[in-house]
Amino acid sequence: MSRALSMQRTVVTPGDRVKFLERMRSREAHYKAAGCQFWVFEEAALSGAFIEFTEAPDSATLKSAHATAVEAPLDPARIYTIVELS
């Protein structure tokens, strides 16, 4: 099984939270249309500290999705691939 993942951490001030979440909804729509999964988590102990995960069935799909994103990740080349443990 081939899987690819990228992550991005962002800290958002309380005044920017609504706008940030709107951007995340737009980003989610883009990645879903590109065949990826997209999740955003907020750190439980630090309000405004977010981490985004984008997962795809393979590296090529993830690279393509990053390349066509309106707002590309800070480091689109940093892609992790799954390690088979069995």
Number of independent structural domains in the chain: 1
- What is the domain extent for residue 31? 4-81
Q: What are the tens digits of pLDDT across the range 17-74?
A: 999 999 999 999 999 999 999 999 999 999 999 999 999 999 999 999 999 998 888 8
Which position has the higher pLDDT, 76 or 34?
34
Burial class (CB in 10 A: 0-12, 13-18, 19+), 71: exposed
pLDDT attached to residue 37: 98
Is residue 86 included in any domain, yes or no?
no
List the beta bridge partners of residue 50: 10, 42
pLDDT attached to residue 76: 86
Is residue 52 included in any domain, yes or no?
yes
pTM of the model: 0.90
Closest by CA position to 53, among listed 64, 44, 41: 41
For residues 23 and 37, give the distance between their C-alpha atoms in angstroms, rounded to a whole number: 16
Average pLDDT over residues 72-83: 90
Is residue 75 included in any domain, yes or no?
yes
**What is the CATH classification number for the domain harbouring 67?**
3.30.70.100
CA angle 83, 6, 53 (to 5 degrees): 105
